[in-house]
Amino acid sequence: MNTFDTSSPVCHFSVINDIHLHTKDYTALARQIDSNDTGFIFLNGDIISANHYNIDSLALFEIEPLAEYAHCMPVMFARGNHEGRGNGIRNVAKIFPNDVSDGFYYTFREGPVAFIVFDGGETNAKRSRHYCGTEVYEQYMMEQIEWARQAMNDSLFRSAPVKVCLAHVPMIDHPDQTEYHIQRWMHKHFVPMLNQSGIDLMIGADLHEYMYFERGPMQNDFP
């Protein structure tokens, strides 16, 4: 059984995202994980697709394809936009509880690496269909910013040699001004704060394509 070890000299982890109920692909990806050389698994959102889920079906789709890995190492989670849709959205927190915040945002430490996790929420421009209105949703995002300023000033986070940001929604200044509202909003409001806190790397998901950005072209001090 692996647990988090802040004294470890190394940090190895695997990231899986955007499965969208393709459980055969999920199982095939999980089988490639070397449990002897992996500290934890991070699910970076959209393992399911928008629907109505009870606890049993959420566990079936989110956890079961990980098989024995779910029993021998920590499984961490960032909520994707699809985990925020449907009648069963409150059940997601029961599958992936955290005692750091009231939402799906938190920090943790493995060896020399401090991680901060954000909830990008709904990516649809007409997100009032899924939330309680634009104002309520953006209030939730601003709450994360206020929380993060304090969380990244904590000594355990601040002293880490390496700092990594994980979020389902990538914080990029995408040229599409209509379909990528939240990506650009998070880039504008989150990236300056992450720059100031010395983030070394951000890992996103959501776009269903490989994109890599060196530090610099989007006012990002981290790749």
Q: Is the pLDDT of residue 55 over 60?
A: yes
Strands 106-110 and 113-118: antiparallel
Residue 27 within a domain: yes
Residue 209 within a domain: no
> Residue 102 has what pLDDT?
65
CA 94 – CA 103 distance, rounded (Å): 12
Average pLDDT, the chain: 89
Give pLDDT tens digits for 90-120: 889 889 987 766 679 999 999 999 999 999 8
Residue 3 within a domain: no
CA 46 – CA 49 distance, rounded (Å): 6
Q: What dihedral do alpha carbons 48, 58, 148, 158 form, nearest 10°?
A: -100
Q: Is residue 59 packed enough to be buried (19+ CB in 10 Å), middle (13-18) or exposed (0-12)?
A: middle
> Residue 141 has what pLDDT?
87
Q: Which CATH number does the domain housing residue 105 bear? A: 3.60.21.10
Residue 176 within a domain: yes
Residue 111 within a domain: yes
Number of domains in the chain: 1
Q: Which amino acid is at 132?
A: C
Which domain range does residue 123 map to?
13-203
Collapsing DSSP to helix, strand or coil, 164 comes out as strand
Residue 22 within a domain: yes
Q: Which amino acid is at 40?
A: F
Residue 217 within a domain: no
Residue 211 within a domain: no
Give pLDDT tens digits for 151-200: 999 999 999 999 999 999 999 987 777 778 888 889 999 999 999 999 99
